[in-house]
């Protein structure tokens, strides 16, 4: 795998982006400091200082469930590439059934998670 090429282009893009930002800051207008202008934008009204904004726990749940299902999908990739080889060596049925069992657990997990309303966004 051409790792050198990937690293080269990543470094090049980072430098290019930094260069673009530098050019933009040089060609931009003079920034005159004014406290109102530099406040965080809130539709033009002075910001309401709420000390503790509650954020839903659903973001955490979405991310955790994403990790789990992503790992299951990752396990399907080697299966998908070697499926035809398994068929040609005569073990197609065994591999297919074992993956169906795995997918059944996956589908059960998804079904349970939907039924338990873990991801109801309102």
- For Cα atoms 89, 74, 2, give the angle at the middle one, nearest 5 degrees: 90
By CB under 8 A, residue 46 contacts other proteins:
no
CA 57 vs CA 40, 51, 73, 121: distances in Å: 25, 18, 24, 11
By CB under 8 A, residue 82 contacts other proteins:
yes
By CB under 8 A, residue 71 contacts other proteins:
yes
Nearer to other proteins by C-beta: 46 or 88? 88
Long-range contacts of residues 108-115, Cβ cutoff 8 Å, at least 24 apart? 109/68, 109/69, 110/69, 113/65
By CB under 8 A, residue 45 contacts other proteins:
no
By CB under 8 A, residue 28 contacts other proteins:
yes
Residue 118 carries which DSSP code? T
By CB under 8 A, residue 27 contacts other proteins:
yes
Shortest CB 46 distance to other proteins, Å: 13
Shortest CB 35 distance to other proteins, Å: 8
Shortest CB 34 distance to other proteins, Å: 10
């Amino acid at each position: 795998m051409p790792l050198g090429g990937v690293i080269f282009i990543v470094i090049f893009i980072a430098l290019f982006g930094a260069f673009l930002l530098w050019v933009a800051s040089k060609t931009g207008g003079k920034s005159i400091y004014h406290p109102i202008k530099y406040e965080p934008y809130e539709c033009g009204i002075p910001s309401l200082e709420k000390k503790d904004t509650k954020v839903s726990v659903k973001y955490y749940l979405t991310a955790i469930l994403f990790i789990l299902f992503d790992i299951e999908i990752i396990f399907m990739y080697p299966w998908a590439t070697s499926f035809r080889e398994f068929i040609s060596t005569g073990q197609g049925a065994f591999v297919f059934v074992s993956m169906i069992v795995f997918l059944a657990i996956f589908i059960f997990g998804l079904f349970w998670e939907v039924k338990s309303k873990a991801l109801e966004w309102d």
